[in-house]
């Protein structure tokens, strides 16, 4: 399979995989669930899976692999020249200028060896202590890269949680981070896994270094690197097809999937990829979230960095799906997950489990597992978030800003409706090529929470919620004239045609979000009735030039989707708690109900010295496991709509 083992060559090589592993070796924080290896049937099924993945084109060609290595070598030379120039400018001696150096490391999918065609390369530049991120990296190196013909789409993001410079180098997408370590000279053989690299640095620099350190640890903590890589590539491909691959949208990203798969490999050290894929869905549909997934013991070091620990940090106890990184300082890599996105992922895990069971019975082929999720056929009501800008460069930064804040909109809607109105964001963006301006749009499916009693005249009014979101979006520090945003409520039949790549046409009439959606109690299916609400004119900034996009509608950024205050008051009552090592933690009532089902109605007290999910072995053997949220029916047939007029 071309591209499945792309080494980082001279730039930074991952630790060598263990070729032979002793069966007695202990993997992870608990004993393995099974040491059973593949049968002849499993081997045959694995060959079929490998062939399907190869035919699906998830592996890059040898030519593209060679091109990536060449690009990384060029980038390595560029940063070396940049550091030497700055060393001379800052007045250091000729000897210091000669010795000055910077090192390039890779992390993420490329370092793990699971990247595919068109994937970006996550890179980290490690420089000496006298070269800083704010001026030297985001200004000095930015200017150098901007003059290089092969570099395009250069986009610095200095205010991100982990500051990054994004660009394409000869067509290869690059995400470049910078970390200044407490050394005057960075050697070519710099050991980034050594704990000493964290001395005398700040939290932001520690986060920048963490990606490489985490990737190294993951490869060291899995029993069979090749099986890990194939399984991870398979499940990443599946997650993208099912619309749940996006950390920024509140789903799971690359490192999250890598840790989940690595933990599974620890549970089943002798299993081949086809066995691991099935067991992935079986284990994680039974996993009792919010118990954490960890690959090793969480280390507390005297360096004083914040480490994920709900016993110490109350905020950590609110995380719904903690997946903990294995390198110090250990962090929750999935803090973005919300109640709505957790529900969607659990439904998709159940879908995967059902399909894999049929594959095991030879009722279905592997292709059935990777059927694309029919997002627009799964809901009858949507929020449409459109962005426009004067040109593609402006749209790229504007869209990135809006996308990074959509998760906050979901959380606010959940908060303001007492978690009764659920949102399902579609990670994919869509563009209308017929517009003269640069354009992009996101969609979010809407539905009422299952099991809720429909009250007569029930409404969900989220005008203030969207106004708050609008205010946050308008605070973008780098906003330029022409950058505008439109939020609308659309029904399924009003989805614009550009959202259907095959050209499936829909009525494109959309109403502004300034409307009320009412739930009709008299219908067995919830029905949305809409009426026009007058609203104030959208404020225009006098110093900004007129938008090149469509004419703004009255209160187009103001949403009104329904909810009586009594419903919100009822939902905002004090929620039950689970005690995790002495931490009083509020959790979703549905999660608590299922935790109690699994513990025969008793509140659970988790032992700090044992992995919370150590009992999953008994669950898997008995088949009586209960997940964090019950999935009663196949997700493909479980469609609760808010309207009957789709």
What pLDDT is stored for residue 369 in this prediction? 97
- Residue 605: CA count within 13 A, CB half-sphere: 1
For the cut 90, the answer to whether the pLDDT of residue 191 exceeds it is: yes
444 or 575: which leads in pLDDT: 444
Name the least confident of 117-121, 396-400, 416-420: 416-420
Residue ranges of the chain assigned to CATH 3.30.460.10: 62-216
Tokens 């579609």, located at residue? 426
What is the per-residue pLDDT for 13? 45
Average pLDDT over residues 169-186: 96
Q: What is the mean pLDDT of the chain?
A: 78
Q: Which two tokens stand for residue 432?
A: 């209308």
**Domain topology for 375-449+461-499:** Alpha-Beta Plaits (3.30.70)
Residue 196 has pLDDT above 70, yes or no: yes
In the chain, list all ranges with CATH 3.30.70.590. 375-449+461-499
Give dist(CA 366, CA 374) in Å, integer. 18
CA distances from 62 to 4, 69, 70 (A): 10, 11, 12
Stretch 88-96: mean pLDDT: 94
CATH 3.30.460.10 applies to domain 62-216: yes
Inform me whether the pLDDT recorded for 131 exceeds 60.
yes
Q: Is the pLDDT reported for residue 146 higher than 70?
A: yes
| Residue burial 237-256, b: 16+ Cβ < 10 Å; e: rest | bbbbbbbbbbbebbbbbbbb
pLDDT tens, position by position, 224-235: 999 999 999 999
Q: Could you tell me the pLDDT band of residue 463, with boundaries at 50, 70 and 90?
A: confident
Q: Is the pLDDT of residue 514 over 50?
A: no
How far, in Å, CA of 501 to CA of 494, rounded?
16
* Triad 366, 368, 370: Cα angle to 5°: 85
CA 564 to chain centre: 33
Q: If pLDDT is split at 50, 70 and 90, which confidence band does 562 have? A: very low
Give residue 523's pLDDT. 29
Q: What is the mean pLDDT of residues 310-325?
A: 93
**CA–CA separation, 445 and 646 (whole Å):** 13
CB atoms within 10 A of CB 349: 23
Q: What is the pLDDT of residue 458?
A: 67
Q: Known catalytic residues?
A: 109, 120, 122, 175, 236, 245
User: Could you give the CA distance from residue 370 to residue 535 in angstroms, rounded to a whole number?
Assistant: 45
Give the pLDDT confidence score for residue 454 in this predicted structure.
63
Task: Report which secondary-structure segment, H or E, holds 423.
Answer: strand 421-425
Confidence band for 600, pLDDT divided at 50, 70 and 90:
very low
Mean pLDDT, rounded, for 6-34: 58
The Cα 137–Cα 116 span in angstroms is: 29
| CA distances in angstroms from 634 to 127, 348, 351, 358, 637, listed in the order given | 52, 9, 6, 13, 6
Q: Can you tell me the mean pLDDT for 399-407?
A: 91
- The band of 452, judged by pLDDT with boundaries at 50, 70 and 90, is confident
Which residues of the chain are in CATH 1.10.1410.10 domains? Answer: 40-56+222-369
Write down the CATH number for the domain with range 40-56+222-369.
1.10.1410.10
* Among 364-373, 473-482, 528-537, the range of highest mean pLDDT: 364-373
The predicted structure's pLDDT at residue 77: 96
Kindly tell me if the per-residue pLDDT of 205 is higher than 60: yes
Residue 420 has pLDDT above 50, yes or no: yes
Question: What percent of the chain has a predicted confidence (pLDDT) above 90?
Answer: 60
Q: What pLDDT is recorded for position 560?
A: 32
Question: What is the pLDDT averaged over residues 535-542?
Answer: 34
């Amino acid at each position: 399979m071309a591209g499945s083992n792309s080494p980082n060559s001279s730039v930074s090589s991952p630790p060598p995989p263990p070729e032979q592993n002793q069966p007695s070796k202990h993997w992870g924080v608990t004993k393995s669930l099974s040491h059973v290896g593949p049968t002849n049937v499993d081997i045959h099924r694995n060959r079929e899976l490998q062939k399907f993945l190869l035919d699906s084109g998830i592996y890059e060609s040898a030519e593209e692999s060679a091109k990536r290595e060449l690009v990384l070598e060029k980038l390595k030379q560029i940063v070396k020249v940049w550091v030497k120039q700055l060393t001379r400018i800052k007045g250091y001696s000729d000897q210091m200028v000669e010795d000055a150096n910077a090192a390039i490391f890779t992390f993420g999918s490329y370092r793990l060896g699971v990247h595919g065609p068109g994937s970006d390369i996550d890179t980290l530049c490690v420089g000496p202590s006298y070269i800083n991120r704010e001026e030297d990296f985001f200004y000095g190196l930015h200017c150098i890269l901007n003059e290089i013909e092969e570099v395009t789409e250069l986009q610095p993001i200095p205010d991100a949680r982990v500051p990054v410079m994004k660009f394409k180098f000869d067509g290869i997408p690059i995400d470049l981070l910078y970390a200044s370590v407490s050394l005057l000279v960075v050697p070519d053989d710099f050991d980034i896994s050594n704990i000493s690299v964290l001395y005398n640095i700040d939290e932001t620099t520690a986060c920048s270094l963490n990606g490489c350190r985490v990737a190294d640890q993951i490869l060291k903590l899995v029993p069979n690197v090749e099986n890990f890589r194939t399984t991870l590539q398979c499940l990443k491909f599946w997650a993208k097809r099912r619309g749940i691959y996006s950390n920024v949208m509140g789903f799971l990203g690359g490192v999250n999937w890598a840790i989940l798969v690595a933990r599974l490999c620890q549970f089943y050290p002798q299993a081949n990829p086809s066995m691991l894929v099935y067991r992935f869905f079986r284990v994680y549909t039974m996993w009792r979230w919010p118990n954490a997934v960890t690959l090793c013991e969480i280390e507390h070091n005297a360096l004083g960095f914040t480490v994920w620990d709900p016993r110490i940090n109350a905020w950590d106890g609110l995380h719904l799906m903690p997946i903990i990184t294995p390198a110090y300082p250990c962090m929750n890599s999935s803090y973005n997950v919300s109640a709505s996105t957790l529900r969607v992922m659990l439904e998709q895990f159940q879908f995967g489990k059902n399909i894999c069971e049929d594959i095991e019975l030879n009722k279905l082929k592997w292709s059935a597992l990777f059927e694309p999720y029919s997002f627009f056929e799964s809901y009858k009501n949507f929020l449409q978030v459109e962005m426009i800008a004067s040109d593609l460069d402006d749209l790229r930064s504007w869209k990135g800003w809006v996308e990074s804040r959509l998760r906050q909109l979901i959380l606010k809607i959940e908060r303001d409706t007492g978690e009764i109105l659920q949102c399902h964001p579609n990670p994919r963006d869509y563009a209308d090529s017929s517009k003269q301006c640069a354009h992009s749009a996101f969609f979010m499916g809407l539905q009422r929470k299952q099991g809720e009693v429909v009250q007569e005249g029930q409404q969900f009014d989220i005008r203030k919620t969207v106004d708050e979101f609008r205010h946050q979006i308008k605070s973008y520090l780098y906003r330029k004239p022409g950058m505008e945003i439109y939020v609308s409520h659309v029904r399924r039949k009003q989805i614009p045609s550009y959202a259907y790549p095959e050209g499936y046409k829909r009525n494109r009439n959309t109403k502004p979000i300034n409307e009320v959606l009412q739930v009709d109690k008299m219908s067995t299916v919830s029905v949305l009735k809409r009426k026009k609400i007058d609203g104030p004119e959208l404020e225009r900034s006098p110093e900004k030039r007129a938008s090149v996009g469509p004419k703004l509608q009255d209160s187009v950024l103001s949403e009104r989707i329904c909810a009586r205050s009594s419903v919100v008051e009822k939902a905002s009552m004090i929620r039950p708690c689970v005690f995790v090592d002495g931490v009083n933690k509020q959790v979703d009532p549905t999660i608590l109900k299922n935790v109690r089902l699994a513990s025969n109605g008793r509140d659970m007290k988790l032992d700090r010295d044992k992995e919370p999910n150590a009992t999953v072995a008994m669950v898997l053997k008995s088949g009586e496991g209960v997940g964090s949220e019950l999935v009663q029916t196949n997700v493909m047939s479980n469609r609760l709509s808010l309207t009957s007029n789709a």
